[in-house]
Copies of this chain bind each other. A is one copy, B any other.
Amino acid sequence: MNNDNSVLKKILTLRDNQWMEIEDPVVMEAPVTLILNGKELVTLLCTPEKIDRLALGFLRSEGFINTIDDLSMIRVKEDGLVDLELKSDSEAIEKLYGKRTITSGCGKGTVFFNVLDSLQSSPLEGKLQVEAAAITRLSKELQSHSELFKRTGGVHSAALADQNEIIFFFEDIGRHNAVDKLVGECLLGRVTMEDKFFILSGRITSEILLKAARLKTELIVSRAAPTALSIELAEKMNITLVGFARGQRMNIYTHQWRVLKEHS
């Protein structure tokens, strides 16, 4: 393993009608299992870097914790396990069971719709505005940051930015993991997220939208496509969605007032 999250593999490659044996860099992937209050919560398949951020971000994105102070312990072990202890476990455990147990699935009572309903009932109220030129510039920067992608073609990247610069940047084989690592970094450093925005390489699906809504992130910029459902959720939750932010182009799908249009 290189210390850059890639590993060289001997492969057979076909180029210009010729078969060659070469060594090619491949992105690392490893299972990381979160143990919450002594019980197995989930196994995430991820790029094995900044595991503590991933664990913290996952707990925050999924609603188990709000700040790092909600935890009494986090310990990353060598075998891919992360031990996490909540200070007060009753509420979190309840949420845990609310999410993980097999509920009766009658009518609109599914877990997904419960989550959806609760988030839709309180749209974001922030007034963040960002210049279109900044979105264009920072989206290009995201791409140039992405060394691991250039080497391996196998990862997504996610950044937290403000109007001026990219503040944190992570890469991971999973779109969600990259965002969760950002979130974990913010928790650790007690950095506020409400006044900043996401720039993502991957597609925007409803799950990313729900994550952003929980984190009160008002603006999501992606170099890729959104889904129709993510647009509908963004509309309802007062989140601005920008897609296909590539080169000098971008599409604004919702709440376009957050993007200042004086673009040069």
Enumerate chain B residues within 8 angstroms of A252, measured Cβ to Cβ.
11-14
The segment from A67-75, A179-187, A212-220, A221-229 that touches chain B is A221-229
Give chain B nearest CB distance to A67 CB in angstroms.
24
Enumerate chain B residues within 8 angstroms of A188, measured Cβ to Cβ.
none
Chain A interface size range:
35 or more
A226 to B24 alpha-carbon distance, docked (Å): 11
A153 to B243 alpha-carbon distance, docked (Å): 11
Is A190 among interface residues, defined by CB-CB distance under 8 A? no
Interface centre among A14, A39, A231, A244 (most CB of B within 10 A): A14
B-facing mask of A162-175, CB < 8 A → 1, else 0? 00000000000100
One of B108, B203, B256 near A79 (C-beta < 8 A): B108
Enumerate chain B residues within 8 angstroms of A122, measured Cβ to Cβ.
none
A173 to B205 alpha-carbon distance, docked (Å): 8
A248 to B14 alpha-carbon distance, docked (Å): 7
Closest to A10 in B: B253
Enumerate chain B residues within 8 angstroms of A227, measured Cβ to Cβ.
26-29, 154, 173
B-facing residues in A218-264 (Cβ within 8 Å): 224-231, 244, 248-253, 256, 261, 263-264
> A17 near B248 (CB under 8 angstroms)?
yes
Residues on A facing B (Cβ under 8 Å): 6-7, 9, 11-17, 19, 24, 26-31, 33, 35, 38-41, 43, 45, 79, 81, 96, 100, 102-105, 107-108, 110-113, 132, 152-154, 173, 203, 205-207, 224-231, 244, 248-253, 256, 261, 263-264
Could you list 15 A-B pairs, sorted by A, with CB under 8 Å?
A: A6-B228, A7-B228, A11-B251, A14-B132, A17-B248, A19-B263, A26-B226, A27-B227, A35-B105, A39-B104, A40-B103, A40-B111, A45-B229, A153-B244, A154-B225
